[in-house]
Every structure is written in C-alpha cells, then in structure tokens.
Amino acid sequence: MERECKEQLEKITQGFQECRKAFTAIGDETRQLILIVLMQSDLNGIRVGEIAEKTHLTRPSVSHHLQILKDAGIINVRKEGTKNFYYISADETQWKAIADLMKLVYEGVVHIGKDGGGI
C-alpha cells in the first residue's frame, strides 16, 4: 500500500510539472476571459481586434495574453496572408494532461477522506 501511495504522489508531482505552463496560462482572469471568447468562436478563429472589442482590452494586452496561451499549447494561430486568426487548440494533449492530473489529485483527496491520513 505504501508503495502505491508513493507512486501516486510521484505521478501527481510529475503531472504538476508537466502542466505548470498550462495552469499558469489558464489561471489568469484575463486569459480566462479570452478563452471564453475563443470558445464562443468557431475553429476558423478570431482576430486580435475582435477579441479586444469583446473583452474591452487593448490590442497589445490581448496579443500578450494570446502569446502566453499559445506557448502553453492552449490555443493555436492560423495565418491568412498578414492576418492571424486565434482559436482553441483542438489537440487534446494539454487538456487531457490537466484532466488526468486533476483525477489523480481527486482520487488522493478521496483516499485521505476515507482513511483520515495522507496518501
């Protein structure tokens, strides 16, 4: 049992390391607002100016936050000539890693609740 607990804690630790950039990216209120706007658009994407209008942010601020989301693998950009269209990444890799980590954490919390001790 102790070995299983140690393995679960190692998986959780590794998961947090792998998801750190994504958590930082989606943890910010402004980026959450931008994600909601992106989720309301289709996979064809939306331009910075449109996002700025819908969020009441400046274009430079939107661009800055989009870059953070892009670097974290949360969104993608499609170029059409000189225009950039941003959209939620359909690649489930980062989202799945976050969901898997949250499941491990949840299972650990449930275990603690049942046994009254640590994992």
Query: Is the residue at 4 inside a domain?
Result: no
Domain count, the chain: 1
Structural domain of residue 101, as residue ranges?
Answer: 16-108
Whether residue 117 lies inside any domain: the answer is no
Please state, in angstroms and rounded to a whole number, the distance separating the CA atoms of residues 101 and 13. 9
Q: Which residue in the block uniquely carries the two structure tokens 């499609």?
A: 78
* CATH code, domain with 79: 1.10.10.10
Task: Establish if 68 belongs to a structural domain.
Answer: yes
pLDDT at residue 116 in the model: 61
Give domain status of residue 5, yes or no.
no
In a domain, 20, yes or no: yes
Q: Which two tokens stand for residue 38?
A: 């992106």
Q: In whole angstroms, what is the distance from residue 43 CA to residue 16 CA? A: 28
pLDDT averaged over consecutive 10-residue blocks of the chain (119 residues)?
83 95 96 96 90 97 97 92 91 86 92 68
Which one, of 79, 84, 88, lies nearest residue 49 by Cα?
Answer: 84
Q: Look at residue 60 in the predicted model and tell me its pLDDT.
A: 98
In-domain check, residue 45: yes
